[in-house]
């Protein structure tokens, strides 16, 4: 089994399903370009059939972002698949991502179909998508609450029909790590043809276990992890990808696995997503929270000053958090100012930068030290509102 874990980012699709979040096409492009720099393997750019805006965003990302696979979501019907391909067709590598629920609860109340009908629809959809692209992912929505034998049968048939990735979502964030790891192993043991495809996981955080569940699944043999930056998403959110990647990296001794992530871009990506979605990152959030590397108690401070690894298991510089934080004040120049804003995830036009720099100088005259919060407020309240 390969030791490479593929990272599938769905910030622009599942992440955008966070209540209150709506990104315009330019914001989506900015995020997609940054995700490519970050080194994600797949960007799920949207669900093209749902709206003209989503269609246009998937099309723009496909056209303009290179070096990654671009995925578009589709239900298991021909119209959705046609729409997804139409939006994706200029991508360097296009993936059609089809989903259909397999749990009895979804079959009975949502789809009003029996198991055989769902199986048939899944196979027909995958076969249809294959005429457009070789790269087809099939997600069994609510897989973790599905009957394992039925689920494995569905996966076996969609693999025969040409699926190259099978995804086992914990759609409602219900499972625990031990349970999910066991479930992934059972599916892998029972699904014919499983060795030909990539096994993927997609977890939600309703019980706060999305990252732990994803890592348990990887331990059990999954080789694609789906999630979002900062863990944003529907309800309590999705797996926070930066946490999974740093978990795999920091505990390489345990997992022995690698990703293609350029970890130095993590902090910048987190800031960009937070500023464009308007979803703040909680201060004590793992990896990217403001306090993630702050040491308050005297004993900890003393330890870190003597030897960093006494209380730090990750090096903040690895995440792109610079340790020689340039302090900005009234003598700071435009270059340091731009650099600092970029580290906070703001990529301003020249015109916005000029405006922001003028306001910053005015503020610096009144305030000796300008904090990151001051800069965030300045950009978000004064520049982005204009």
Q: How near is the Cβ of 327 to ligand KIV at its closest, in Å?
A: 42
Q: State yes or no: residue 14 binds ligand KIV (CB under 6 A).
A: yes
Residues 306-365 that bind ligand KIV (CB under 6 A): none
Residues 124-163 that bind ligand KIV (CB under 6 A): 139, 141
Nearest to 104 by CA among 161, 137, 148, 139: 148
Q: How near is the Cβ of 138 to ligand KIV at its closest, in Å?
A: 10
Residues 92-111 that bind ligand KIV (CB under 6 A): 99
Taking CB under 6 A as the binding criterion, the range among 81-89, 106-114, 164-172, 276-284 that sits at the site for ligand KIV is: 164-172
Taking CB under 6 A as the binding criterion, the range among 108-116, 167-175, 188-196, 344-352 that sits at the site for ligand KIV is: 167-175
Q: How near is the Cβ of 374 to ligand KIV at its closest, in Å?
A: 37
| Nearer to ligand KIV (CB atom), residue 226 or residue 242 | 226
Q: Is residue 202 a known part of a binding site? A: yes
Q: How near is the Cβ of 57 to ligand KIV at its closest, in Å?
A: 17
| Nearer to Zn ion (CB atom), residue 14 or residue 54 | 14
Q: Which of 33, 95, 106, 202 binds ligand KIV (CB under 6 A)?
A: 202
Nearest to 159 by CA among 132, 119, 114: 119
| Nearer to ligand KIV (CB atom), residue 65 or residue 71 | 71
Q: Residues within the annotated binding site for Mn(2+)?
A: 14, 202, 204, 238
Return residues touching ligand KIV (CB under 6 A).
Answer: 14, 99, 139, 141, 167, 169, 171, 202, 204
């Amino acid at each position: 089994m390969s030791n490479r874990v593929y990272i599938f980012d769905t910030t622009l699709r599942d992440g955008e399903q966070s209540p209150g979040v709506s990104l315009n096409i330019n914001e989506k492009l900015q995020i997609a370009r940054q995700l490519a720099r970050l080194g994600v393997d797949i960007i799920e750019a949207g669900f093209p059939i749902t709206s003209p805006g989503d269609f246009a965003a998937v099309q723009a990302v496909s056209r303009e972002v290179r070096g990654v696979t671009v995925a578009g979501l589709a239900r298991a019907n021909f119209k959705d698949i046609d729409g997804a391909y139409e939006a994706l067709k200029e991508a360097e590598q296009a993936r059609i991502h089809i989903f259909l629920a397999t749990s009895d609860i979804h079959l009975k109340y949502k789809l009003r179909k029996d198991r055989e009908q769902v199986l048939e629809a899944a196979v027909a959809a995958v076969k249809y998508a294959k005429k457009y692209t070789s790269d087809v992912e099939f997600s069994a929505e609510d897989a973790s609450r599905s009957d394992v034998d039925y689920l494995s049968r569905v996966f076996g048939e969609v693999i025969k029909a040409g699926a190259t990735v099978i995804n086992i979502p914990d759609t409602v964030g219900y499972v625990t790590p031990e349970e999910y790891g066991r479930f992934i192993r059972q599916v892998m043991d029972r699904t014919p043809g499983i060795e030909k495809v990539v096994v993927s996981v997609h977890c939600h955080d309703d019980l706060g276990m999305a990252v732990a569940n994803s890592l348990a699944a990887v331990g059990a043999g999954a080789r694609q992890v789906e999630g979002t930056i900062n863990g944003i998403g529907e309800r309590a959110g999705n797996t926070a990808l930066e946490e999974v990647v740093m978990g795999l990296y920091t505990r390489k001794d345990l997992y022995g696995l690698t990703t293609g992530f350029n970890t130095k871009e993590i902090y910048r990506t987190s800031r960009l997503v937070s500023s464009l979605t308007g979803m703040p990152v909680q201060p004590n959030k793992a990896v990217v929270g403001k306090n993630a590397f702050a040491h308050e108690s005297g004993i900890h401070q003393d330890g870190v000053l003597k030897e960093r690894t006494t209380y730090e298991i990750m090096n903040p510089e690895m995440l792109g958090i610079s340790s020689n934080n340039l302090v900005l004040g009234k003598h700071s120049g435009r270059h340091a100012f731009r650099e600092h804003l970029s580290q906070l995830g703001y990529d301003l036009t020249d015109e916005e930068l000029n405006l922001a720099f003028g306001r910053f100088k005015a503020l610096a005259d009144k305030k000796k030290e300008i904090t990151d919060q001051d800069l965030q407020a300045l950009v978000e309240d004064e520049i982005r509102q204009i």
